Amino acid sequence: MSTQTKNFWFDLFLNNTLASRIRKNLFLKILFFTCSINFLSVGIALLVTFTSSTGPAAREKQREENRQQNLAQILYLYSTPLIERWISDGKSASISYADKLENIIDFEPYLFDSEGHSLISRKISPEFEAILKRFRKDDNPVIKVTTANGIVVMCRIVGSDGKTYTAAGSQGRTRRFSIFPRDFTMRITISIIMLTLLSFLLARHITDPITKLRKATQKFATGDLGARVSETLGKRQDEIAQLGLDFDQMTSQIQNLIKDRQQLLRDVSHELRSPLARLFVALEISKKKASEDVIPSLQRIALEAERLNTLIGEILLLNKLETGPNLRICKLVDLSELIHRIGEDANFEAHTRNVSVVIAPFPVIHVNGYPEMIHRAIENVVRNAIRYTDKGTTVNISIETRESEKDPLILTIEDNGPGVPSINLPHLFKPFYRVEGDRGRKTGGTGVGLTIAYRAIKLHDGEIWAENSKDGGLKIIITIPKKMIAT
């Protein structure tokens, strides 16, 4: 059965909103299906019980048939004396005898001649008269009918005078036997409550550890490498508990691998900086002793060494961001002053390319955060825009604030360069990612600037992404949540 077919039958019994919630929630899904199975089982059990040959419905039918048979036997037993009283003593004697029979045996007798005329004074209902007409047209010697008012039995008897009489008997309906026990409603209510409670406990037993595992996974995904789940599962020893242990083992191994990698990066970076420092000293000494034709080569060596030193610093900062700086003690940052300071520094750097940084007016904004990380994030994006914008153009910085508490602060940094192919936009924030093979070398980038910006903004629960402008160029958008903005 296809998924669409299953959803059709699922939505057939539930409204779309409830069905959608059940499909998205494992607890509700288990609770719904277990309750449905329980109620269906109860319904089938009741159906089998009350439709079987030995069930209450069958016993009620048999009881009704026995009443009809008993009434027929009583009619045969007392109808002949009643007819003889009519033949021998007349109408008054037969009526008196009929009244005695009715008082003694709770049986209302009737007597009719062959034409269907009543021989004793008895009130005949339309229903009774219809049965009598049907019986006179029928060839059966006896008819037994159960009506809304009771049981009616009729038979043909030949009297001593040779005439055929129709004797009839009517017995009112007794207290109807119920196929359900008196306390059936209470029993079925208690059963439904117990089944629902058991279904709830079963669904909770299955989904509760999965919910805990999901929360631990979310913590781990946000950088909490110490997130574990097995301690919260109690004494469970089933497959879900084993899954929790496997999750803890996996997170422990990943945590150790990340720690080893971070330590390796720190060790390698520090080890590289020592010979770099000696290299700079040697270069300065060589410049003093070198001839003029050697100076350009030494300056090239110094430039590459400086780039290497910058790259090592960026790697160390990126490593620090991955481990997570201490953001518990947030500082108040004047975002307005910070952006204008970055703009002034960037304008000084951009002057050599005939490029300028333009900051759109915006009100004073203070945010709570890690000042160095916010500064590096915005600065890296601005410097990246300066590198790739066309000569003689501008890099535009703007901030948008909204009144709603849910809407974040939006910082946009837009250049006027060639832009980036759409297929490459999601990868711009990956370490050392380059759209072209020599792009970073032409512009002097290290390949981790946008990655540092991405990690720094994420540490402040913000978002950062890239998109191409309609008029060309690349636009980097940074959002800072309202909770980080100081009021």
pLDDT for 440: 47
**Structure tokens given for 255:** 């945590």
Cα–Cα distance between 221 and 128 in angstroms, integer?
84
Find out whether 484 and 415 touch, Cβ atoms under 8 Å. no
Cα–Cα distance between 257 and 263 in angstroms, integer?
10
Kindly indicate the confidence band of residue 457, based on its pLDDT and cuts at 50, 70 and 90.
Answer: confident
Instruction: Tell me the domains of the chain and their CATH numbers.
Output: 3-51+188-221 (no CATH), 56-172 (3.30.450.160), 239-321 (1.10.287.130), 329-486 (3.30.565.10)
Kindly indicate the confidence band of residue 396, based on its pLDDT and cuts at 50, 70 and 90.
Answer: very high
Give Cα separations from 390 to 171, 197, 224 (angstroms).
109, 69, 42
The answer on pLDDT for 327 being more than 50 is no
Give Cα separations from 146 to 108, 137, 427 (angstroms).
15, 19, 85
Span 357-366, average pLDDT: 87
DSSP summary character for residue 241: H
Span 456-472, average pLDDT: 86
Identify which has the larger pLDDT, 226 or 359: 359
Kindly indicate the confidence band of residue 16, based on its pLDDT and cuts at 50, 70 and 90.
Answer: low
Start-to-end Cα distance in the chain: 57
Number of helices (H) and strands (E), helices first, in the chain?
Answer: 13, 12
Give Cα separations from 317 to 48, 251, 311 (angstroms).
74, 24, 10
Give Cα separations from 294 to 285, 306, 378, 385, 440 (angstroms).
13, 19, 39, 35, 27
* Residue 395: closest CA among 423, 447, 354: 354
Residue whose pair of structure tokens reads 């309906």 in the numeric block:
173
pLDDT for 324: 57
Q: Is 0.85 topped by the overall pTM?
A: no
pLDDT for 177: 47
pLDDT tens per residue, range 189-235 = 887 788 888 888 877 877 788 888 888 888 887 777 778 887 777 77
Kindly indicate the confidence band of residue 113, based on its pLDDT and cuts at 50, 70 and 90.
Answer: confident
pLDDT tens per residue, range 155-182 = 888 888 888 888 888 777 654 445 556 6
pLDDT for 414: 92
- DSSP letters, 98-151, are HHHHHHHHS-EEEEE-TT--BSS-----HHHHHHHHHHHH---SEEEEEETTEE
Cα–Cα distance between 480 and 487 in angstroms, integer?
14
Lowest mean pLDDT among 15-19, 163-167, 250-254, 338-342: 15-19
Return the SS3 of 157.
Answer: strand
Find out whether 71 and 144 touch, Cβ atoms under 8 Å. yes
Residue/partner pairs of 174-179 with CB below 8 Å, 24 or more apart: 174/67, 177/59, 177/60, 177/63, 179/50, 179/55, 179/56, 179/57, 179/59, 179/60
